[in-house]
Structure 1
Amino acid sequence: MREQIEARIGHLKAELESGRQMMQELDEKRSGLSYTLMRISGAVQVLEELIAEDVEEAVLPQ
């Protein structure tokens, strides 16, 4: 009986470690994705501002 319990403990500890590693990998991916989305958002904003300037110049030529 004791051997079965110890084997189960070993199995659960291995699963726990595996889960922790997966969580760390997902956190790293999430961080990278957040950074990428922030860069894309900034690029969209810049392009929208350029379009707005272009439209403004077309409507109000200097």
Structure 2
Amino acid sequence: MREQLRERIEQLTQEYRNGETMLADLDRRRTELQATMLRISGALQVLQELMGPVAAEEPETASGPAEAA
């Protein structure tokens, strides 16, 4: 009976350690994913800001020749 308890304790201890390792890996991956998403968000913001003036200029350019005609 005692030997079975020891074996079970060893099994559970190993499972717990495996769980800790998996959790640490998930935390690392989450941090990496957050950093990636932050970079993507920044890139999107820059591109949207660049498109803002371009989108505003295009109708003026298109209306320019129409006014000249």
What's the TM-score, normalizing by structure 2? 0.82
User: For this pair of structures, how many residues does the alignment match?
Assistant: 61
What's the TM-score, normalizing by structure 1? 0.90
Specify every segment of 5 or more residues in structure 2 that has no aligned partner in the other structure, as ranges.
62-69
Alignment-mate amino acid for residue 6 of structure 2: E
CA distance in 1, matches of 2:31, 2:43: 19
Q: Does residue 1:7 correspond to 2:7, yes or no?
A: yes
Partner of 2:38: 38
CA distance in 2, matches of 1:60, 1:50: 17
Q: Give the drift of 1:53.
A: 1.1
Q: Give the drift of 1:59.
A: 4.0
Specify every segment of 5 or more residues in structure 1 that has no aligned partner in the other structure, as ranges.
none
RMSD: 1.2
CA distance in 1, matches of 2:9, 2:32: 35
The correspondence of residues 15-54 of structure 1 with structure 2, limited to 5 A, is 15-54=15-54
Which structure's CA Rg is the greater one?
2
Q: Runs ≥4 in structure 1, deviation > 4 angstroms?
A: none
